[in-house]
Structure 1
Amino acid sequence: MMTDALVAHSSEIEQADFYKKTYLHVALSILAFIGVETVLLKVVPVELIAMMFGQKYTWLLIIGVFWLASVLANKWSLSQSRSTQYLGLGFYILLEAVIFLPILYIATGYSGGGTLIFQAAMLTIAMFAGLSLVAFTSKKDFSFLRNIIIIGGFISLGLIVAGAIFGFNLGLWFSVGMVVLASASILYETSKLKNVYTTGQYVGASLQLFASIMLLFWYILRILMSRRS
């Protein structure tokens, strides 16, 4: 078990080491996601992937399971036990790979689908880098975003469930709104690194950032796909 101090109460060297390890784990998480996703797209039957987005109640079940499992993964990631943190991060990467199966399968079916996915990934990385720079260099306190993110998250979840049940398309502006929400989440998660985590919780910190990046990637990809349809 670790008894590390908060990052804010640590020396500059310890803070720098924490940030280095956190962002290294974010990068490794993205690479792990790519690897797992590539394998799943090759081994999971097309019929099963089609069922995930073809049956509205199946998709609702998947969203529900994903939400519950995400809560568990987040809890593990904030443990003081390093092995439990890694368990939470690994579990969450697997969850993201499963939830991304339908949208990536559809995207690859577009003309130039590989380029489309690459463009979405590059835009996501560029936005994440820019938002992180703002959070680190700005003296602004972004803690006010917490309530906005929570309320926005519940509203968006309600709209997604309603759309799945009643069969209406949430449209381009919903995706734009979710990009804004994901961007706010990145700002908030980055700004709270120093005051929430201990120097030994870099794995848990990386999970929170990874989750925000994947949300941003999902809706940037949806926006680019909507332009092709």
Structure 2
Amino acid sequence: MENLNNRMLLTHATDTERVEFYKKTYTHVAGGVLVFLLFEYLLFQSRPIVEFALSMTQGYKWLLFLGGFMLITNYAESTALKTTNKNLQYIAYTGYIFAEAFIFIPLIYMAIIYTGSFEILEQAGIVTLTLFVGLSSVVFITKKDFSFLRAGLTIGFFIALGLIIAGMLFGFNLGLWFSVAMCLLAAGSILYQTSNLIHKFSTDDYIPAALGLFASLMLLFWYVLQIFMSRD
């Protein structure tokens, strides 16, 4: 059985070890974004896959789609955190990236149809990365522990999930302000994950750290893109 207790926490590491950990983590986040773009490109080359993904946005099918994504997310995060086997961690991370790419198909398809170009995707991507860098910088500069956000984020995500399910079941549009609220929730998640990066992880946890940051980044991108698409 793998021993997870003998790893050195980052707070006890040397400056050189911490810098190396940060480099590895953000390299893996950047790598995750590139793999996401690759998966997205490959998925869009298959018309049956795109049509299937679009069909899953209809009625209760979207709830099944969302439920499957949440199961994959939970499995990937728990696997990455509970094992020291780098191969398993990479498999979990790659599987999660693929799931993100798949669930993004309908939104990206609609975004392209909305403008007839990739411009809205580029704009949303730039805004998302800018916010991500800014929020991460706040944590690194202040060194503040944002672990207190965990309870609020958990409650917020359950409320958001309830509203999403209610919207699907009763056919109402959650609208612009829901997307804004979700961006705030995603921003809080980035602060929380970045804080964990500094205060909670060990020097060997760069893959699960990257997975958490990547998940928060993609959540922010999803709702920033929704906001851009809601403009008149």
Q: TM-score range by the shorter chain?
A: over 0.9
Question: How many residues are matched?
Answer: 227
Check if 1:48 corresponds to 2:52: yes
Alpha carbons 2:180, 2:223 under 8 Å: kept = yes
Q: Which residue of 2 aligns with 1:102?
A: 106
Residue 92 of structure 1 aligns to a residue whose secondary structure is helix
1:203 pairs with 2:207: yes
The equivalent residue for 2:74 is 71
CA distance in 1 between partners of 2:122 and 2:56 (Å): 23
Aligned to 1:12: 15
Unpaired runs of at least 5, structure 1: none
Instruction: Determine if the alignment matches structure 1 residue 127 to structure 2 residue 121.
Output: no
Q: Measured at CA, do residues 227 and 165 of structure 1 come closer, stay the same or move farther in structure 2, by a change above 3 Å?
A: same
Q: Distance in 2 between matches of 1:44 and 1:112?
A: 18
**1:61 aligned residue:** 64
Asked whether 1:85 is paired with 2:109, we answer no
- Written as runs of structure 1 = structure 2, the 5 A alignment for 1:136-151 is 136-151=140-155
Identity, % of aligned pairs? 48
Counterparts of 1:26 and 1:50, CA distance in 2: 27
Query: Counterparts in 2 of 1:182-201, with a 5 A limit?
Result: 182-201=186-205
1:223 aligns with 2:227: yes
Cα distance change, pair 44–202 in 1 and its aligned pair in 2 (3 A) = farther
> Tell me, what secondary structure is at the counterpart of 1:110?
helix
Q: What pairs with 1:108-119 in structure 2 (closer than 5 Å)?
A: 108-119=112-123
| Structure 2 residue ranges without an equivalent (≥5) | none
1:34 aligns with 2:37: yes
- Give the aligned CA root-mean-square deviation in angstroms: 1.3
- The alpha carbon displacement at 1:207 in A equals 0.2
Q: Retained in 1: the 8 A contact 2:79–2:92? A: yes
Shift of 1:77: 1.3
Q: Secondary structure at the match of 1:192?
A: helix
Q: Which residue of 2 aligns with 1:159?
A: 163
Between the aligned partners of 1:153 and 1:113, the Cα distance in structure 2 is 32
Which amino acid is the alignment partner of residue 16 of structure 1? Answer: V
Distance 1:90 1:36 in 2: 10
> What's the CA shift string for 1:189-212, capped at 9, x where partnerless?
101112321111101100000000
Alpha-carbon offset, residue 61 of structure 1: 0.2
**In the alignment, is the contact (CA less than 8 A) between 1:82 and 1:201 conserved in 2?**
no
What is the CA–CA distance in structure 2 between the aligned matches of 1:140 and 1:71, rounded to whole Å?
27
Code of the residue aligned with 2:158 in structure 1: it is F
Instruction: Give CA-to-partner distance per residue, 1:110-164, whole Å, 9 cap, x none.
Output: 2243000000000000000000000110143312111110000000000001111
**1:141 partner SS:** coil
Contact 1:6/1:194 (<8 A) preserved: no
Between the aligned partners of 2:111 and 2:224, the Cα distance in structure 1 is: 12
- Where does structure 1 differ by over 2 angstroms across 4 or more consecutive aligned residues? 1-4, 44-47
